[in-house]
Amino acid sequence: MTRNNLVLTRIFLTLLFPFFCGLRPVQANDNVYKKMAADIAKYSSINKVKSIAVLAFSRKARTSREESEYVSERLLTCLAESGKVKLLERSQLDQVLQEQKLGLAGLTEGVEDKKEGALSSADVIIIGVVFGTADHLKIIAKMIDPGTGAVLHVIEAQTERQWDMVMERPGFEFDVLDMTVLVGMFADEAKLPALNDFRDAPRNVETGDCSARRTRLIKHQASAMEAKAKYWALKMRDPDFSSEILTRNPGGEIADPQMKKIFYRLLDEMYKSDDAPRLSFSEEEEVRKIMEEEKRLSDDCGLH
């Protein structure tokens, strides 16, 4: 058997292993949540916890909102199916948390005397965080005393990712408009605008001044190329990032074609890397200053 055939055989057997065992990957994931629910139920039984509120889990390290919400909802479902604890309705949670905040701030009266108040309705609140790796989700759930905020019990688990829940990141097709193509769209040649008319703003200073400022900006952009790529990579790795907030493509303000090519290569590498780039405070300040310089030049002269 050749080396390639051996590799393919191993991959094939690995993919079929769950089916040979009579256990699908999704079923294996369900077992993770059932074990977590059993752990919580056991602690609750020993410590006489009767009612529990499960809050939506937060997400870290490249985890989608859909994944974190699924984890908390799946755990909630498994707890409900066990029938061993009373679960607080999600609609009551806002009231519970609000009353807790007011009580801790001393803004409510007679909270101690409320036998059926919102605070007393939950013996324990479960919060959690979900971390994403290349193939797995790592889950840390904590049982919290709602009155004191003390951590009573911690449950850790790991499950396989379900990739249909992971939103694809926005692509890196930052096409810079070719002005000659745009000009060619005009049917009447007599009315064709000059390329210099396509500016971010009218030119209102001497050409020599604009030329010198552009030369100076190119030098600044070159020195901050890596920092700028880090800045935008971090922005785009944020799950809440939306390209709709952009007024122009990142890198569109770079006039030098070779420099622009390098910027997009760095941006693509940092964006796709397993580890998020580290942007220092000084690097961030440098990027912000250059962005301000780019805006001023755009307003006064047009960038290109």
Residue appearing with tokens 């990032």: 241
Using 50, 70 and 90 to split pLDDT, how confident is the model at 170?
Answer: very low
Q: For the chain, give every domain's residue range.
A: 14-107+116-165, 179-300
Question: Which of residues 116 and 97 earns the better pLDDT score?
Answer: 97
pLDDT, tens digit (0-9, with 9 covering 90-100), for 139-163: 999 999 988 889 999 999 998 877 5
Structure tokens at 82: 């066990």
Quick one: fold of 14-107+116-165? Answer: Rossmann fold (3.40.50)
Please tell me the distance from the alpha carbon of residue 275 to that of residue 235, in angstroms, as a whole number. Answer: 14
Say what the pTM is. 0.43
pLDDT, tens digit (0-9, with 9 covering 90-100), for 183-208: 444 444 444 444 444 444 444 444 45
3-class secondary structure, 137: strand
Closest CA to 245 of 237, 235, 234, 260: 235
Question: What is the predicted pLDDT for the residue at 43?
Answer: 93
